Amino acid sequence: MTQPAELPRWMDLVVLPAFNLGVALAVCGIVVAVIGLDPAQVITLLVKGAFGSRSGLSYTLYYATTFVFTGLAVAVAFHGGLFNIGGEGQAMIGGLGTALVALALGPHLGPMLLLPLMVLGAALAGAAWAAVPAALQAWRGSHIVITTIMFNFIASALLAYLLVNVLKEPGNMTLESPPFGAAARLPGVHEALGWVGIDWPRSPLNLALLLAVAAAVGIGMFLWQSRPGYELRATGFSPPAAHYAGIWPRRQVMRSMLISGALAGCVGINELAGVQGRLLLDFVAGAGFTGIAVSLIGRNHPLGIVLASLLFGALYQGGAELAFEIPGFSREMVTTLQGLIVLFSGAMATVAAPWLARLYALFRRQEGGRG
């Protein structure tokens, strides 16, 4: 029987994640060396690609925006005691929601009215898609992990059906909806900065970034400063205690999943309103699942999720740069690096905690001996 490791807060929040990331990078370096490349060159290129130029930074932030939404979605459900695997499907349906609003109202409204409605459409559609598994869990006890996984497949099939049979432009061979009107385009950051006279290179980074930051701040305030957030966390930690406190557990299941689905749905804003300008089949591209890793590494805390999203954004962008620069470095290698980081910083995040705790205790004792 080992006692759970006791680390001071600053070590738990800073030293341990940094240590884990270091280990992950070290192992990555070994893998890179094994395939005959220079680890130092690879890491330099990766960091440079992700943060070294304004353009690279913009791409990193653009990827991170999507991960903030899906990461927060997983975290809110997690605080409510639920494991929402359905971010992928909820994001797809969120995109559908935003596309339907854009296509139906686009010709009639200006951007100041249309864009908020599109955000609402994305959030409501994502929430609605999460509501079904949530209700099944709350009233019938169907396990939310299973139902949300299944709803990913259903969402994918539904989107394909609608694109093939309803939304596709006649005569267009690719599976995509007609383009949204100009009013339905969320301005890019380069455009927005251009308005105030700052020159910024063109990139997919758009104003959904601000929405993501607002969502992170809002979720933080909701969870730790509001009564519904208090009730949600109480339920997540201990349903019997919540019941004792007069909190209705079913309502909390619905609440956490609706918020979770709405957040996942906002992926549609970044990808469709911000970049594509039309509805596509696979615009989510696994970001819903990446959100699970992001939330895990970010310890389900909004600030941690923002940082983890930046890490993943950098891996995506830097990895793409690497594949471009070094011929021997394939896309699969990038995936390997991501996998190692998820392994060390997410799945095995507390493995090193007892060692660090012992080291810390040793250090303290020496300090005490001297003092």
> Which residues of this chain interact with another protein, rule CB under 8 A?
1, 3, 6, 225-231, 233-234, 237-238, 240-246, 361
- Write phi, then psi, for 174 (nearest 5 degrees): -85, 155
Nearer to another protein, 181 or 228 (CB): 228
Nearer to another protein, 246 or 327 (CB): 246
In the complex, the smallest distance separating the C-beta of residue 258 from another protein, rounded to whole angstroms, is 16
Nearer to another protein, 165 or 225 (CB): 225
Distance, in Å, from the CA atom of 92 to the CA atom of 165, rounded to the nearest integer, reads 17
In the complex, the smallest distance separating the C-beta of residue 187 from another protein, rounded to whole angstroms, is 32
In the complex, the smallest distance separating the C-beta of residue 300 from another protein, rounded to whole angstroms, is 12
In the complex, the smallest distance separating the C-beta of residue 210 from another protein, rounded to whole angstroms, is 23
Q: How far is CA 139 from CA 135, 253, 302, in A?
A: 6, 10, 30
Distance, in Å, from the CA atom of 99 to the CA atom of 119, rounded to the nearest integer, reads 10
- Write phi, then psi, for 198 (nearest 5 degrees): -95, 130
Nearer to another protein, 264 or 353 (CB): 353
In the complex, the smallest distance separating the C-beta of residue 138 from another protein, rounded to whole angstroms, is 17
Q: Which residues of 38-57 are buried (b: 16+ CB within 10 A; e: fewer)?
A: ebeebbebbeebbeeeebbb
Q: Which residues touch 237 (CB under 8 Å, ≥6 apart)? A: 81
Q: How far is CA 299 from CA 13, 60, 77, 256, 308, in A?
A: 9, 21, 13, 17, 9
In the complex, the smallest distance separating the C-beta of residue 141 from another protein, rounded to whole angstroms, is 13
Distance, in Å, from the CA atom of 278 to the CA atom of 176, rounded to the nearest integer, reads 7
Nearer to another protein, 245 or 348 (CB): 245
Nearer to another protein, 324 or 363 (CB): 363
